[in-house]
């Protein structure tokens, strides 16, 4: 076995800081979310891309209700809190009164698909130039871990203990595929946070989505599959494979629509 390095202090060797504890635009990284949660990585990627594109001064986030909402007070960005499911409508109003701003929503699957499905569909259909980000973990994490409309077939949740059964609970909704055919929609993609490779892909998707908004091309949507080991009743170390096997086989990651020229 190799020796263990002392990692309590920065190195004495000449070195460059690549990545600090607190990501850019997140003021306080310590949070109360469960171990193994995928949402901090998704949020981190979103705000870091905003910073990399130089849009931080113009960016306004609109947060839905979910575990991720605990990040709204610690972001170094303007943030508005929406009612449950109403973030896309609030974002529409913001963008219309401040057309130069970069408006994005952060919602979970419960918030967007269960509580406020019509809000996002109308916002997308009208082609509002905002970016909606949906963190999809297939459960209402914050309120106890019950089933949402994106819970995949066979998935165990608090109220589908034997697994989601289409005869009793119906079929899940594929949100990205549902929004993509609408004429006002310019960019739709689905990423995942279950491994570093997927996070690199996700960051490219987020970059494209914000570029679409910056260039005024229409509505952009990025769905992010995130781990919720607590809600899935599994060990944290098993969550990335569970996401890949169960969720990603139904909600398949990839770029679903890119209406930009040359794309």
Partner 1 sequence: MSGALSRGTLVIDVERCKGCELCIPACKPRVLTMTTDKRNEMGYFYPELEPGCTACHACALICPDFVFQVWRYDEAVAVEEEGSER
Rounded Cα gap, residues 216 and 201, in angstroms? 23
Q: Does 36 bind partner 1 (CB under 8 A)?
A: yes
Q: Does 206 bind partner 1 (CB under 8 A)?
A: no
> Among residues 12 and 167, whose Cβ is nearest to partner 1?
12
Stretch of residues binding partner 1 (CB under 8 A), selected from 20-28, 83-91, 154-162, 172-180? 20-28
Q: Does 229 bind partner 1 (CB under 8 A)?
A: yes
Rounded Cα gap, residues 241 and 88, in angstroms? 32
> Among residues 103 and 225, whose Cβ is nearest to partner 1?
225
Positive or negative torsion for Cα 202, 45, 183, 153: positive
The tokens for 213 are 């908004």
Pick from 25, 45, 113, 175 the residue near partner 1 by CB under 8 A: 45
Q: Is 120 helix (H, G, I), strand (E, B) or coil?
A: helix
Contact 211, 185 (CB under 8 A): no
> Among residues 216 and 237, whose Cβ is nearest to partner 1?
237
Rounded Cα gap, residues 199 and 226, in angstroms? 11
Q: CA-based diameter of the chain, in Å?
A: 63
> Among residues 14 and 167, whose Cβ is nearest to partner 1?
14
Q: Does 29 bind partner 1 (CB under 8 A)?
A: yes
Stretch of residues binding partner 1 (CB under 8 A), selected from 3-11, 148-156, 169-177, 251-259? 3-11
Q: Does 18 bind partner 1 (CB under 8 A)?
A: yes
Rounded Cα gap, residues 27 and 34, in angstroms? 19
Contact 83, 101 (CB under 8 A): no
Rounded Cα gap, residues 114 and 104, in angstroms? 19
What is the closest distance, in whole angstroms, from the C-beta atom of residue 20 to partner 1 in the complex? Answer: 6
- Residues forming contacts to partner 1 in the complex (CB under 8 A) are 2-23, 26, 29-31, 33-41, 44-45, 193, 195-196, 199-200, 227, 229, 236-237, 239-240
């Amino acid at each position: 076995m190799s020796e263990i390095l002392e990692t309590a202090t920065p190195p004495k060797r000449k070195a460059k800081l690549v990545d600090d504890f607190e990501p850019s635009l997140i003021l306080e990284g310590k949070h109360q979310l469960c171990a193994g949660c995928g949402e901090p990585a998704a949020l981190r990627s979103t705000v870091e891309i905003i910073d990399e594109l130089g849009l931080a001064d113009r960016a306004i986030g609109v947060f839905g209700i979910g575990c991720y909402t605990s990040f709204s007070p610690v972001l170094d960005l303007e943030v508005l809190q929406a009612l449950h499911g109403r973030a896309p409508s609030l974002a529409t109003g913001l963008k219309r009164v401040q057309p130069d701003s970069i408006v994005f929503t952060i919602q979970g699957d419960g918030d967007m698909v269960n509580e406020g499905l019509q809000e996002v569909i109308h916002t997308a259909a009208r082609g509002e130039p905002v970016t909606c980000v949906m963190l999809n973990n297939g459960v209402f994490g914050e309120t106890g871990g019950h089933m949402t409309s994106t819970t995949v077939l066979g998935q165990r949740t608090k109220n589908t203990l034997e697994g989601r059964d289409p005869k009793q609970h119906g079929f899940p909704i594929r949100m990205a595929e549902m929004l993509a055919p609408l004429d006002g929609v310019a960019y739709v993609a689905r990423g995942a946070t279950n491994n570093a490779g997927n996070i690199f892909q996700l960051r490219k998707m987020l970059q494209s989505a914000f570029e679409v908004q910056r260039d005024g091309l229409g509505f952009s949507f990025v769905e992010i599959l995130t781990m919720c080991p607590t809600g899935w009743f599994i060990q944290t170390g098993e969550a990335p494979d569970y996401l890949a096997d169960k969720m990603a086989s139904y909600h398949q990651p990839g770029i679903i629509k890119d209406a930009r020229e040359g794309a």
